[in-house]
Amino acid sequence: MQDVLIIGTGMAATALANTLADKARVTLIEKSRGFGGRMATRRREGFEFDHGAQFFTARSQAFQQFLTRPVEGACIAEWQPRLTTLEAGRAPYKREWFEPHFVAAPSMNSLCKESLKALEGNITIHLGCEVGPLEKIDSGDAPFRWRVFPKQTDDQREILGEFDWVLSTAPSAQTSTLFANTNFSHLTRLHDAKHLPCFSLMLGLNAPPKLNFDLATVKESSIALIVANASKPRRGATHSLLVHSDNRWALENFDADRAEIEQQLIDASCSLLELDAASIVHSDLHGWRYAKTEVPADEDFLLDEESQLAACGDWCLGGRIEDAFLSGQRLGLSLVKLLNS
Ligand SMILES: Cc1cc2nc3c(=O)[nH]c(=O)nc-3n(C[C@H](O)[C@H](O)[C@H](O)COP(=O)(O)OP(=O)(O)OC[C@H]3O[C@@H](n4cnc5c(N)ncnc54)[C@H](O)[C@@H]3O)c2cc1C
């Protein structure tokens, strides 16, 4: 069996691992301490926030099939929030969704976490370890392998492992850094795909907010979206509000002082929701540098058979959870054919 490294534990990595688990010796390495990538959940001071993706749709048969497989400890639930649109100078107006929207329960990260944990025994997972440089080991008398080093280490001899294949599910810009010193033939395609940033403001309140919506889309503002986290199925009854900034606003302000960004978003939220600032008992900010795909690669995945490197993720096909799944699964299926040939 060949040794395959998957970088990441988000949806693309989960789809890849599911496809490859019994076809190769699979190792996943994730730089964060938790699973899920941008399907993220944060718990602080008794409050809980899905501070990355809020929901997903499932339009393809492949994704629908994946979601119907039982996974211990996680389930998929349809979410039917009260929807509204907020716009300065206009009365709020209601919206409707015309297809089912889903969330993972009990938290957004539980789908990847429990799906990957179910494969343990077949796969190896290392969390909290950032992959750094790759070095090609080619002695000439055996097939070459990739020696993989951690990003930050003072010890030049510390290696994470040697692999026949390295598959990155990191956003395109991060994959381009990882593969920079390799002979990966699709480096320019990695540069072509572009992301926009986003800030997530997490507010914990001392009482239920008086809202006549569960999810508000906001127009012409530094804020793009507001979600009452507890309105999702199987969440705790905490008074947690999740606020996503506008992507363009985040781009203009990404390197500004984070305390100032947090205060600006708190002020904008209080003004939009007529919220008393004194009711905010917890506040936290997360900046996503690669939140939303602005320009996709328009490929299912990028695979270079000669260098035995490949990249996949939402940015290949679009910018949504289902795109990440399809990209990961399609790369996995192609690799299975190569491993069997
Ligand atoms: C604020 C926000 C809101 C969103 N809202 C929605 C929504 O409502 N609906 C929707 O469908 N989509 C939404 N999305 C997009 C959705 O989250 C993504 O499409 C999807 O989660 C991407 O999955 P992925 O596996 O391709 O990438 P990721 O989830 O980013 O996974 C890549 C993983 O690689 C890891 N990694 C990167 N570099 C390294 C390294 N060097 N070493 C080790 N690990 C590394 C990362 O830590 C990460 O876990 C949103 C995203 C954000 C940020």
Determine the residue of 18, 218, 321 to mutate for testing ligand 1's pocket, defined as the one with the most ligand atoms within 8 A of the Cβ atom.
321
* Closest by Cα among 200, 163, 264 to 49: 200
pLDDT at 157 exceeding the cut of 80: no
Cis peptide before 208, with omega less than 30 degrees from 0? no
Looking from the CA of residue 198, the nearest atom of ligand 1 is: 1
The rounded distance, in Å, linking the Cα atoms of 176 and 166 is 13
Q: What is the mean pLDDT of residues 87-98?
A: 86
Provide the pLDDT for residue 236.
Answer: 81
Determine the residue of 14, 31, 38 to mutate for testing ligand 1's pocket, defined as the one with the most ligand atoms within 8 A of the Cβ atom.
38
Place 294 in a pLDDT band, splitting at 50, 70 and 90.
very high
What ipTM was predicted for this assembly?
0.99
* Closest by Cα among 94, 63, 87 to 76: 63
Place 162 in a pLDDT band, splitting at 50, 70 and 90.
very high
* Residue-wise DSSP of 147-169: EEEESS-S-TT---EEESEEEE-
pLDDT digits (tens, 9 = 90+) for 41-59: 999 999 999 999 999 999 9
Domain count, the chain: 1
Provide the pLDDT for residue 82.
Answer: 96
Give the closest residue (by CA) to ligand 1 atom 15.
320
Provide the pLDDT for residue 154.
Answer: 66
Provide the pLDDT for residue 155.
Answer: 64
Q: Among the listed ranges 83-87, 156-160, 170-174, 221-225, which one has the minimum average pLDDT value?
A: 156-160
In eight-state DSSP terms, residue 141 is: S
* Closest by Cα among 127, 115, 107, 14 to 52: 107
Q: How many whole angstroms from 283 Cα to the centroid of ligand 1?
A: 23
Indicate whether residue 11 lines ligand 1 (CB < 6 A). Answer: yes
CB atoms near residue 29 (< 10 Å): 23
The rounded distance, in Å, linking the Cα atoms of 202 and 219 is 20
CA distances from 154 to 7, 36, 150, 179 (A): 22, 29, 10, 21
Q: How many whole angstroms from 180 Cα to the centroid of ligand 1?
A: 21
Provide the pLDDT for residue 238.
Answer: 78
CATH code at position 299? 3.50.50.60
Q: What is the mean pLDDT of residues 118-143?
A: 92
pLDDT digits (tens, 9 = 90+) for 248-289: 999 999 999 999 999 999 999 999 999 999 999 999 999 999
Looking from the CA of residue 131, the nearest atom of ligand 1 is: 42
Give the closest residue (by CA) to ligand 1 atom 4.
53
Task: Tell me the residue range of the domain where 102 lies.
Answer: 3-340
pLDDT digits (tens, 9 = 90+) for 228-248: 999 999 998 779 999 999 999
Indicate whether residue 30 lines ligand 1 (CB < 6 A). Answer: yes
Looking from the CA of residue 57, the nearest atom of ligand 1 is: 11
Provide the pLDDT for residue 156.
Answer: 64
* Residue-wise DSSP of 220-278: SSSEEEEEEGGGSTT-----EEEEEEPHHHHHHHTTS-HHHHHHHHHHHHHHHHT--GG
> What's the mean pLDDT when you consider all of the chain?
94
* Sign, Cα dihedral of 313, 131, 248, 102: positive
pLDDT digits (tens, 9 = 90+) for 213-228: 999 999 999 999 999 9
Indicate whether residue 169 lines ligand 1 (CB < 6 A). Answer: yes
The answer to whether 5 touches 166, Cβ cutoff 8 Å, is: yes
Looking from the CA of residue 323, the nearest atom of ligand 1 is: 19
* Residue-wise DSSP of 47-80: EEE--S---B---SHHHHHHHHS-BTTBEEEE--
The bridge status of strand 102-105 relative to strand 123-126 is unpaired
Quick one: what percent of the chain has pLDDT higher than 90? 87
Looking from the CA of residue 313, the nearest atom of ligand 1 is: 26
Question: What letter represents residue 24's amino acid?
Answer: A
